Amino acid sequence: MRSKYHHVHYRAMPAQSRFGLIFGVLHNEECYTAEELQFRTRILSARANSGLDADLLQTSNSWFSTNEDSAFTNINENSWFFYPEYRPRESLSTEDFHISLVDNQRLNWPELATMTRTIGDYLLLRNSNLPASHLNQPMNYVLLDIIRILKRLSVTDNAEYVTKQLQLLHNYLRTVEIHTSATVGSDRLFLSDCRLTIEHQQQTIENEIHSRQLKTQIHQVQQQLNQVAELRHTILHFALSDSAVNPHPYWEHFATPTQPQLDSKKEFPTLAAKACGTMRSDELAKINEESAINPQLNVLELSAETLSQCPDFKFVAALPEAVQDAYRNSLIDLQEILRFQGILDQLLQLFDQAGEVFTIIQFREQMLGLLKNIEQFIQHSQHNIMQVLEANTNLYHQFIQAKQDLRWWEKMLTQRQEKMDNFIANQDNLARFDTTPADLQMANKELLQQVNQVVNQLIQHASETSQLQLVSSTREMVEQLMNSMHAWIGRQYELKGLPIPEKPQLNPIAEKRGLDTPKTEQPTYSHHQKLIIKEPTALTSSTSKLTPFQFWSQPQVTYLPAPRPCNSLSCNATPPMLSAAENNAGNSTAPMLYAGVALGFLVLLPLSILALKLLYDSWQPSAQNSNYEASDFEAIKIKTADLLSLVNNLQDTLKVEEYNYSLPFVNEEYNHLIGKAGKGQFDVSGMQSLHDELVEIHQDLSLYMPQTLTH
């Protein structure tokens, strides 16, 4: 493990007696020396005076208690001959240095959560040479307390509060650093690195933009999608590996295009496998109109032959090819999740620049289709990771049995015992994380719930009568978003061996000049023209500062102010003539140009939006009207209603926990379709899809019937 900022390796604490070799036999090694007691006193004083919020400082660890009797035990309390010696009541073990993952559904600042696991890795390295009696060193308690504070801050959504508390924590760490020895171990260097990380995170929080309702929901979908990916990555990190791996997985490293500097890639099998694969760029990876490539969003191509020849990645011996393919496909699925998150990032940027109303009206159907695809993708890819987890569990049981049956000569002459120990140790570390099948299922359910919330929000925004406030520079972002959506959906077709559907083409709005030209002569916009001439500096929003795209060629005519009522004196008066210098100055100034741009913008904006809408509608299948036939809808509605009643009755009887969350959404979707039918909109395909889903649920519930009857 090495410093991120100073590029030097951290050092473990040396193993040496607290009281010396000569007098050590007269003392208990678990007791503190006078220097350690003094260090603790300084830490408690600095902590109390740090200004950190009382809720953050509140802890159940008795080591931080100001009452000495609560914090320590005097092992010589009843002795007449020995001096008092104090041992902390709160003992520590290496298990305390394995840090759990933060729930992504609550996570607001991922870098703080990453920092907690980095501190955990340092604690494991720091204490690797120490005996169990020395794990209660004061610095271990301090670093564990910092982890607890960072976890609380990482799930706090108040940006101003987090920024302030991070600054106070930064000052507190600086105080601890001052009282830390610079000659033993790497504590002082590591505390300095922690402060630098906090400074970087403060800048990130200051640049955070608060989002609106739909944007917030999409952000929550992105977070939950990240939670699903992190759980899967944790399983792939520990599972089926032939060698010992790092005790903490780092999903952030897998998701980062630039690989971190590692001493050995064998300790990070997912990174090693990804590095052996081939990255291919497509439309989704182009992050702007200059077609700059984002490596994070590239397509990962990883064949079975490539993975088998990867130098830093090895499966356990005699692993079936089907399990190897499931592992390989799970890695590809992780990359596809990253690519989908890239689409969500572009969508959130579009919300910022184009506005929520415009995005909903123009891309509501596209977003609905994309969300349905991610639902299908999560359910389909779940089979791969479950196959990996099941095979890993079976191997774990086999290795335990094989280790017990290992002969003495195999222990001495072969490496079987070492490989078994490495595999079992990996499974022990995996067991510290919530990666059971039930945890994966729950994460998937929460993701689908978040997706359903966004779907319901989009359905509520079906009306297209809302006013739009948009600048022309968002057109490039709109085109890129549509290309990204098509690229991701096309990749899913490619993975299934299906032909990629044709990408819809978006004609440039500039080609519509023939339709827009007559509108510039209409006098109805003269009052807007006058307003812009009078106040040309009013357009100061963030969107107005973006480079506008040119709807038309630069006008050659001069725009005159609109006629206005006047009295008899002003109407009969001759307007003053401008001098040549004044005339040239007037031609060189911006107001007249602003007037032309503003008039053209106000005229072309509604027509451009209408043109986009007509183009988008032309992509839809011509057979869409067949979904609204009343007779077909009534027939499938009766079947769906009967099946829904049967499923609800089964769930009331069986009480299957996994359907306590999903069935209410199914009932809500049925009621929504019935409500649309009452308004004359007979969505046959939607009702048919709901019927098919109920058939699957009924089949699943039927599997629980024998188990219930046996009890």
Chain-centre distance of CA 283, in angstroms?
A: 21
Q: Which residue has the higher pLDDT, 517 or 118?
A: 118
Q: Which residue has the higher pLDDT, 581 or 66?
A: 66
Average pLDDT estimate for 520-549: 35
Residue 614 CB-density burial (10 A; 0-12 exposed, 13-18 middle, 19+ buried): exposed
pLDDT band at 482 (very low <50, low <70, confident <90, very high): confident
Q: Which residue has the higher pLDDT, 459 or 227?
A: 227
Q: Is the pLDDT of residue 536 over 80?
A: no
Which of 287-296, 328-337, 359-368 tops mean pLDDT?
A: 328-337
| Per-residue pLDDT at 438 | 92
Contact indicator for 337, 229 with CB cutoff of 8 Å: yes
| Per-residue pLDDT at 542 | 35
How does pLDDT run across 259-269, given as a tens digit for each residue? 777 777 889 99
Q: Is the pLDDT of residue 702 over 90?
A: no
| Per-residue pLDDT at 138 | 95
| Per-residue pLDDT at 602 | 59
| Per-residue pLDDT at 615 | 61
Which of 70-84, 219-233, 271-285, 357-371 tops mean pLDDT?
A: 219-233
pLDDT band at 144 (very low <50, low <70, confident <90, very high): very high
| Per-residue pLDDT at 6 | 67
| Per-residue pLDDT at 333 | 95
| Per-residue pLDDT at 324 | 94
Rounded-to-integer distance, Cα 195 and Cα 193, Å: 5
Rounded-to-integer distance, Cα 544 and Cα 470, Å: 9
Q: Which residue has the higher pLDDT, 83 or 427?
A: 427
pLDDT band at 678 (very low <50, low <70, confident <90, very high): confident
Q: Is the pLDDT of residue 572 over 60?
A: no
Q: Is the pLDDT of residue 306 over 90?
A: yes
| Per-residue pLDDT at 472 | 46
How does pLDDT run across 176-194, given as a tens digit for each residue? 999 998 888 899 999 999 9
Q: Is the pLDDT of residue 342 over 50?
A: yes
3-state helix, strand, coil in the chain (%, to 5): 65, 5, 30
Residue in the block written with tokens 């039927």 = 702
Q: Is the pLDDT of residue 509 over 60?
A: no
Contact indicator for 442, 227 with CB cutoff of 8 Å: no
Closest CA to 63 of 97, 83, 85, 86: 86
| Per-residue pLDDT at 44 | 95
| Per-residue pLDDT at 614 | 60
| Per-residue pLDDT at 85 | 86
DSSP code of 576?
P
Q: Is the pLDDT of residue 79 over 90?
A: no
pLDDT band at 631 (very low <50, low <70, confident <90, very high): confident
Query: Of 282-286, 321-325, 602-606, 696-700, where does mean pLDDT reach its minimum?
Result: 602-606
Average pLDDT estimate for 404-416: 74
Query: Of 141-155, 608-622, 668-682, where does mean pLDDT reach its minimum?
Result: 608-622
Query: Of 20-29, 148-157, 597-606, 626-635, where does mean pLDDT reach its minimum?
Result: 597-606
Mean pLDDT of the chain: 77
Average pLDDT estimate for 288-313: 80
Rounded-to-integer distance, Cα 660 and Cα 650, Å: 12
Q: Which residue has the higher pLDDT, 57 or 201?
A: 57
Q: Is the pLDDT of residue 57 over 90?
A: yes
Q: Is the pLDDT of residue 546 over 70?
A: no
How does pLDDT run across 469-479, given as a tens digit for each residue? 434 445 666 77
SS3 2: strand
Average pLDDT estimate for 124-135: 93
Average pLDDT estimate for 635-648: 84
Residue in the block written with tokens 């004061």 = 138
Average pLDDT estimate for 249-266: 82
How far apart, in Å, are the Cα atoms of 275 and each of 142, 302, 309, 526? Answer: 37, 10, 12, 62
Rounded-to-integer distance, Cα 14 and Cα 33, Å: 16
**What percent of the chain is predicted at pLDDT more than 90?**
34
- Helices (H) and strands (E) in the chain — how many of each? 26, 4
pLDDT band at 437 (very low <50, low <70, confident <90, very high): very high
pLDDT band at 219 (very low <50, low <70, confident <90, very high): confident
Closest CA to 519 of 582, 651, 635, 608: 608
Q: Is the pLDDT of residue 620 over 70?
A: no
| Per-residue pLDDT at 520 | 39
| Per-residue pLDDT at 81 | 60
Token couple for 277:
């694969």
| Per-residue pLDDT at 356 | 64
SS3 708: helix
DSSP code of 301?
E
Measure the N-to-C terminal CA separation of the chain; round to a whole number of Å: 53
Contact indicator for 525, 603 with CB cutoff of 8 Å: yes
